[in-house]
Amino acid sequence: MGKIGFFGGTFNPVHKGHKKLLESVIRALQFDKVIVLPSRVPPHKQVDGLLSGKDRLNMCKLAFADIKGVEVSDWELRQSGKSYSVLTLRHFKSEYPDDKLYFIMGSDMLLSFHEWYCYEEILKLASLVCVSRKNEDTTSLLLSYAKTLEQKGGEVIIVPEEPFEVSSTELRDKLKKGQDCSCYLDKNVVQYIEANNLYHEG
């Protein structure tokens, strides 16, 4: 049985917090493959400065190109309607019926996981793998939260790691103001943003 990780997000833009998370969980769990899935955001949802799926997909390919075993997929972008993780995992479970699936996330996602659509089914389809993204989301807080999900039959793996506190929202704001974000973004992503004139004011 192989180990396949799934890592979804808006990635608007993909940043070093995403990359550090991915490197930590790959080091800890030795996946055979990790599939990164930029999510589709429906047209009626207003997200300040949301880039096209194509740009977000291209930036993920650039940012993760040097991590062995990572594949960036446009599967969620090709679906209609909202990207619900349960639908993605149902699909990939049918693609990989004999493998063990892992769903990778930052701590903000784990802490709101009980509000997700069909979260109990997600727990049956995949083990959750979580890394803290903020100093206040300590390993002990996450472990106690994991216990409540395990009581519902899930498996939750907390990978202890020093948080890298950055968000795409913060970076969109800085980029809009023309501030330098090169310490938070992969250099190829910086080049892509510049070459395509993205995240500019107005």
Residue 97 Cβ vs ligand ATP, minimum distance, rounded to whole Å: 25
By CB under 6 A, residue 173 contacts ligand ATP: no
Q: Which of 17, 34, 35, 184 binds ligand ATP (CB under 6 A)?
A: 17
Q: Which of 127, 138, 139, 167 binds ligand ATP (CB under 6 A)?
A: 167
Distances (CA, A) of 49 to 55, 186, 187, 201: 12, 19, 21, 9
Q: Which of 18, 19, 40, 61 binds ligand ATP (CB under 6 A)?
A: 18
Looking at the Cβ atoms of 18 and 40, the one nearer to ligand ATP is 18
By CB under 6 A, residue 166 contacts ligand ATP: yes
CA atoms within 13 A on the CB side of 181: 30
Residue 86 Cβ vs ligand ATP, minimum distance, rounded to whole Å: 15
**Structure tokens of 92?**
């990939």
Looking at the Cβ atoms of 5 and 9, the one nearer to ligand ATP is 9
By CB under 6 A, residue 61 contacts ligand ATP: no
Residue 168 Cβ vs ligand ATP, minimum distance, rounded to whole Å: 3
Rounded to an integer, what distance in angstroms lies between the CA atom of residue 78 and that of residue 39? 9
Burial 109-124 (b: 16+ CB within 10 A, else e): bbbebeeeeebeebbe
Q: Which of 4, 5, 6, 10 binds ligand ATP (CB under 6 A)?
A: 10
Rounded to an integer, what distance in angstroms lies between the CA atom of residue 81 and that of residue 43? 9
Q: Which residues contact 58 (CB under 8 A, 6 or more apart)?
A: 192
| 58 closest CA partner among 41, 42, 75, 38 | 38
By CB under 6 A, residue 122 contacts ligand ATP: no
Any idea which residue has 């040097």 for tokens?
66
Looking at the Cβ atoms of 43 and 162, the one nearer to ligand ATP is 162
Q: Which of 31, 64, 92, 164 binds ligand ATP (CB under 6 A)?
A: 164
By CB under 6 A, residue 112 contacts ligand ATP: no
> Contact, 76 vs 88, CB < 8 A?
yes
Looking at the Cβ atoms of 166 and 185, the one nearer to ligand ATP is 166
Q: Which residues contact 151 (CB under 8 A, 6 or more apart)?
A: none
Q: Given the rule CB under 6 A, which residues bind ligand ATP?
A: 9-12, 17-18, 21, 105-106, 108-109, 131, 133, 164, 166-169
